[in-house]
Structure 1
Amino acid sequence: MPKPIVDVAIAILLHHGKVLAGWREATQHQGNKHEFPGGKVEAGETPEQACRREVFEEVGIGIKEWHPFDLICHEYDDVIVNLHIFQAAVPASLLDLIQQPWTWYQRDQLLVLNFPKANRAMLQRLYWPHQIKISANLADCAHLSDEQLMYWRTDLQPIYAMAELEQCTEGQLSRLIVPHALWLSLKPEQQKAVFAVHLSQRQLMGLRKGQLTVGIRHLAACHDDVSIQHAQQIGCDAIFLSPVFATPTHPEAKGLGWTAFAQWASIADLPVFALGGVKPQDLAIAQQHFAYGVAGIRQF
Structure 2
Amino acid sequence: MRVVAGVLVDGNGRILIAQRPPGKHLAGLWEFPGGKLEPGEPAAAALERELDEELGITVDPQSFEALIRVPWHYGERKMLLEAMVVRAWSGQPKALDAAAIAWHEPWSIDPAVLAPADRPILAAVRLPGHYAITPAQATPDEAVAGLLEALARGERLLQLRLPAQSLETVRHVAARVLSEVRRCGAHLLLNRDIEGALSLGAGVGVHLGSGQLRDMVERPLPWTSVVGASCHDAEELALASRLGCDFATLSPVLPTASHPDAEPLGWPRFAGLTEAASLPVYALGGLVLGDMAEARMHAGQGIAGIRGFFQGS
Q: Same fold (TM over 0.5)?
A: yes
Give the corresponding residue for 1:152.
Answer: 160
Unaligned ranges ≥5, structure 1 = 1-14, 24-32, 43-47, 62-88
CA RMSD of aligned residues (A): 3.9
- In structure 2, how many angstroms separate the alpha carbons of the residues matched to 1:197 and 1:126? 19
Render the CA deviation track for 1:173-203: whole Å, top value 9, x for unaligned.
534221232x413564x22222x31001101
Alpha carbons of 1:35 and 1:161: their partners in 2 closer, same or farther (altered >3 Å)? same
Mapped to 1, the partners of 2:212 and 2:160 lie a distance apart of 17
Task: Pick closer, same or farther for the CA change 1:295–1:157 going to 2, 3 Å.
Answer: same
Of 102, 105, 108, the residue aligned with 1:121 is 108
Paired residue for 2:96? none
Residues of 2 paired with 1:253 and 1:230: CA distance?
21
The structural deviation recorded for 1:35 is 3.0
What is the TM-score with the length of structure 2 in the denominator?
Answer: 0.60
| Distance in 1 of aligned mates of 2:246 and 2:123 | 12
Maintained 8 Å contact 2:16/2:104: no
How many residue pairs get aligned? The number is 230
Matched, 1:259 2:240: no
Instruction: Check if 1:171 corresponds to 2:180.
Output: yes
Tell me, what secondary structure is at the counterpart of 1:274? strand
> In the aligned structure 2, how far is the partner of 1:147 from the partner of 1:211?
25
Deviations 1:46-87 (A, max 9, x none): xx96446x77xx9679xxxxxxxxxxxxxxxxxxxxxxxxxx
Aligned to 1:193: 203
> Are residues 1:243 and 2:243 paired?
no
1:79-90 aligned at under 5 Å gives the runs: none
TM-score by length of 1: 0.63
Note the C-alpha offset of 1:19. Answer: 6.1
Structure 1, 289-298 or 209-218: larger mean CA deviation: 209-218
1:172 deviates by 2.5
CA deviations 1:8-27 (Å, max 9, x no partner) are xxxxxxx8xx965579xxxx
Which residue number corresponds to residue 4 of structure 1?
none
Look up the match of 2:16: 35
Q: CA deviation at 1:278?
A: 0.7
DSSP-derived class of the 2:177 partner? coil
SS, match of residue 282 in structure 2: strand
Percent identity, aligned pairs only, is 25
Q: CA deviation at 1:299?
A: 3.6
Partner of 2:50: none
